[in-house]
Amino acid sequence: MLDRAHNQPELPPEIARRRTFAIISHPDAGKTTLTEKFLLYGGAIQMAGQVRAKGEARRTRSDFMQMEKDRGISVSASAMSFDFDGHRFNLVDTPGHSDFSEDTYRTLTAVDAAVMVIDGAKGVESQTRKLFEVCRLRDLPILTFCNKMDRESRDTFEIIDEIQENLAIDVTPASWPIGVGRDFLGCYDLINDRLELMDRADRNKVAESIEINGLDDPKLAEHVPEAQLKRFLEEIEMAKELMPDFNHQDFLDGTLTPIWFGSAINSFGVQELMQGIADFGPQPQPQKASPRPISPDEPKVCGFVFKVQANMDPKHRDRVAFVRLASGHFLRGMKLTHVRSKKQMSITNPVLFLASDRELAEEAWAGDIMGIPNHGQLRIGDTLTEGEMIRATGIPSFAPELLQTCRAGDPLKSKHLEKALMQFAEEGAAKVFKPAFGSGFIVGVVGALQFEVLASRIELEYGLPVRFEASQFTSARWVTGPKNAVDKFIEANKQHISYDNDGDVVFLTRLQWDIDRVVRDYPDVTLSATKEMMV
């Protein structure tokens, strides 16, 4: 990862006020609810769509697919932009479900920091660990929010110990809870010496803040019952001795995480977390690229596609490429060079997102995430520049873990099916392989739930019922090497060869033995489980 240099150049004020971050967590830790409250405090929505409410009211704003609304889970990363405290927040809500983790991995290449949401009762869960590892690979600064403190939750020290041990990162408390579960009154804000009291009656109400002059201020006793106050003061004493103080550089280096406690559904602790992102969060960072890194203070526009979403508006068969601007000041109508095709594109209708709502973007700066509607020209990994042939790097594509054959219910509709599958392949929702021998397509995904999502979307968006059937193959590997060696390999292994949507050669395997055999018999050919989406 590029060094988060102490001497990063002074950025123009409009870029320096950007904060671009993702929210990551295990499913059901309350990530989408937290996103809702961010939008509420950013003035982007008037009332959060309660995830637990009934009927229409339970539609959260950041989940726009029919399946997300039906199941109450996020299966696709969505981007939102809003202002808070003089800063421009670009927030990406990612899927927590492990079956959609590839979308999350790619999203983390487009942000400068991550907010990790932990359930106060469950602590650090498996998916949190996986996502944290990706953040660690990219040295992303992490802010932690321990959610659901108003329910029965674990001991505060236990939660912090678990984060330190499991994730090998130092933790410093930014706030400290007073009571847990039914006795949860609120938190003491250690950064600003404030007592924050939670209002259980109104979930959309901002917490009441009481200024306190240090922990021996008699005002504390007026608001906190004696037994709870005594315990709280003992805990704070221990915390100050056992835990490191907040150090901004350690946080930016990704070795220290500040932790806030709260309850997103009750709008509690959210504003303090947002203030923490505004005050301590990193400004737009340099982006890895070839042949040189891209610095955010460069005057020329450069951006890269980290996600493609098809049919966000099913009526219009549209595709929107999510672009992270790495440098420059973009103005609507600009002509940018599409580095892969070397052609110019006129960007006339770029959009900024508020979940599924969009507004035309007249301008955007380095750090912003904007959407470019297109008809298939833009793919994940593409770079757009003002002429320089520079390509963003490090956007991964992983080998699928599950493979199934896909057939249309109506054999006459196979052309329609090919179009639908290619669209999903370019979106990154699945890998689609066309076998060199035989008909049909083999679809590869990371998790079984993705097959359900694909079948549901193909039927909803294309009016095409499909069925997925077991395949004889269990894994896929991309084939690279000198042309003559690859040609010889293809000729000898035709039954196993297929091509992905970019036309690259893929070796489909039944057993680990197949891979071992290739390694032994074809030393010049490389089989790879990941393909970098740099085109």
Of 215, 177, 217, nearest in space to 196 by CA: 177
What's the CA dihedral at 366, 64, 449, 103 to 10 degrees? 0
Q: Which residue has the tokens 């942000």?
A: 111
Of 295, 252, 296, nearest in space to 277 by CA: 252
User: What mean pLDDT is predicted for residues 496-518?
Assistant: 87
* pTM (two decimals): 0.74
Is 318 in a helix, a strand, or coil? coil
| pLDDT of 330 above 90 | yes
Euclidean distance between CA atoms 315 and 430, whole angstroms:
22
Euclidean distance between CA atoms 417 and 467, whole angstroms:
11
- For residue 507, give the amino acid letter: F
User: What mean pLDDT is predicted for residues 494-513?
Assistant: 87
Structure token pair of residue 3: 């060094």
Position 47 scores a pLDDT of 43
Residue 4 lies in a domain: no
Q: pLDDT grade, residue 414 (50/70/90)? A: confident
Mean pLDDT (the chain) is 80
Of 478, 492, 477, nearest in space to 522 by CA: 492
Is 66 in a helix, a strand, or coil? helix
Residue 246 gets the label, from left (phi > 0), alpha (psi -120 to 50) or beta, of: beta
Position 271 scores a pLDDT of 87
Among candidate residues 226, 251, 280, the one where a domain is terminated? 280
Q: pLDDT grade, residue 535 (50/70/90)? A: very low
Asked which of 222-226, 233-237, 476-480 is least confident by mean pLDDT, the reply is: 222-226
Residue 106 lies in a domain: yes
User: What mean pLDDT is predicted for residues 474-502?
Assistant: 89
Of 75, 55, 52, 54, nearest in space to 63 by CA: 75
Give yes or no for a contact between 259 and 191, defined as CB atoms under 8 angstroms apart.
Answer: no
Query: Higher confidence at residue 533 or residue 259?
Result: 259
In this structure, are strands 170-173 and 175-178 parallel, antiparallel, or unpaired? Answer: unpaired
Residue 343 lies in a domain: yes
| pLDDT of 349 above 60 | yes
Q: Which residue has the tokens 């977390």?
A: 273
Task: Say if residue 205 carries a ligand binding annotation.
Answer: no
| pLDDT of 186 above 90 | no
- Find the distance separating the first CA and the last CA of the chain, reported in whole Å: 20
Task: Say if residue 28 carries a ligand binding annotation.
Answer: yes
Domain match, 168 and 106 both: yes
Task: Say if residue 150 carries a ligand binding annotation.
Answer: yes
Domain match, 440 and 354 both: no
Beta bridge partner(s), residue 359: 352
Residue 7 lies in a domain: no
Position 204 scores a pLDDT of 57
Q: pLDDT grade, residue 357 (50/70/90)? A: low
Asked which of 110-124, 213-227, 466-480, 488-502 is least confident by mean pLDDT, the reply is: 213-227
Domain match, 132 and 260 both: yes
Domain match, 274 and 161 both: yes
Query: Higher confidence at residue 287 or residue 132?
Result: 287
- CATH (domain of 431): 3.30.70.3280
Task: Say if residue 521 carries a ligand binding annotation.
Answer: no
Task: Say if residue 255 carries a ligand binding annotation.
Answer: no
Domain match, 85 and 228 both: yes
| pLDDT of 278 above 90 | yes
Structure token pair of residue 491: 């000729």
- CATH (domain of 134): 3.40.50.300
Q: pLDDT grade, residue 384 (50/70/90)? A: very high
Domain match, 424 and 464 both: yes
| pLDDT of 67 above 50 | no
Residue 6 lies in a domain: no
Task: Say if residue 95 carries a ligand binding annotation.
Answer: yes
User: What mean pLDDT is predicted for residues 237-246?
Assistant: 86
Domain match, 387 and 403 both: no
User: What mean pLDDT is predicted for residues 360-373?
Assistant: 89
Structure token pair of residue 271: 């504003």
Euclidean distance between CA atoms 288 and 322, whole angstroms:
18
Backbone angles phi, psi at 135, to 5 degrees: -60, -40
In this predicted model, what pLDDT tens digit does every residue of 88-133 receive, in sequence order? Answer: 999 887 664 444 456 677 788 889 999 988 888 887 777 677 777 7
User: What mean pLDDT is predicted for residues 168-176?
Assistant: 90
Asked which of 41-50, 229-238, 302-311, 374-383 is least confident by mean pLDDT, the reply is: 41-50
- Using the Cα atoms of residue 313, residue 317, residue 323 and residue 329 in order, give the sign of their dihedral: negative
Q: pLDDT grade, residue 315 (50/70/90)? A: low
Task: Say if residue 147 carries a ligand binding annotation.
Answer: yes
User: What mean pLDDT is predicted for residues 213-234?
Assistant: 81
Position 258 scores a pLDDT of 94
Q: pLDDT grade, residue 46 (50/70/90)? A: very low
- For residue 300, give the amino acid letter: K
| pLDDT of 431 above 50 | yes
Domain match, 41 and 176 both: yes
Residue 210 gets the label, from left (phi > 0), alpha (psi -120 to 50) or beta, of: beta
Euclidean distance between CA atoms 356 and 339, whole angstroms:
29
Share of the chain above pLDDT 70, in %: 83
Domain match, 476 and 522 both: yes
Burial letters 64-90, b for 16+ CB under 10 A, else e: bbebbeeeebbbbbbbbbbebeebbbb
Among candidate residues 234, 263, 280, the one where a domain is terminated? 280
Domain match, 528 and 501 both: yes
Position 207 scores a pLDDT of 56
Alpha helices in 258-411 (DSSP H): 270-280
Q: Which of 62-66, 323-327, 421-425 has the highest mean pLDDT?
A: 323-327
Residue 2 lies in a domain: no
Alpha helices in 23-176 (DSSP H): 31-41, 66-71, 101-107, 126-137, 156-167
Q: Which residue has the tokens 């066309």?
A: 434
Among candidate residues 243, 258, 280, the one where a domain is terminated? 280
Domain limits for position 335: 289-392
Contacts of 351 (CB under 8 A, 6+ apart): 320, 358, 359, 360, 361, 370, 371, 372, 373
> What's the number of domains the chain is made of?
3
Task: Say if residue 494 carries a ligand binding annotation.
Answer: no
| pLDDT of 43 above 80 | no
Number of CB atoms found within 10 A of residue 273's CB: 26
Asked which of 106-110, 315-319, 389-393, 467-471 is least confident by mean pLDDT, the reply is: 315-319
Q: pLDDT grade, residue 439 (50/70/90)? A: confident
Q: Which residue has the tokens 């932009």?
A: 81
3-state secondary structure 415-474: HHHHHHHHHHHHHCCCEEEEECCCCCEEEEECCCHHHHHHHHHHHHHHCCCEEEEECCCC
Task: Say if residue 30 carries a ligand binding annotation.
Answer: yes
Residue 308 lies in a domain: yes
Task: Say if residue 219 carries a ligand binding annotation.
Answer: no
Domain match, 406 and 440 both: yes
What's the CA dihedral at 196, 200, 205, 207 to 10 degrees? 0
Position 145 scores a pLDDT of 93
Beta bridge partner(s), residue 344: 337
Domain match, 305 and 253 both: no
Is 356 in a helix, a strand, or coil? coil
3-state secondary structure 150-207: CCCCCCHHHHHHHHHHHHCCEEEECEEEECCHHHCCEEEECCCCEEEECCCCCCCCCC
Task: Say if residue 80 carries a ligand binding annotation.
Answer: no
Task: Say if residue 29 carries a ligand binding annotation.
Answer: yes
Q: Which of 124-128, 327-331, 360-364 has the highest mean pLDDT?
A: 327-331
Asked which of 100-104, 332-336, 480-484, 495-499 is least confident by mean pLDDT, the reply is: 100-104
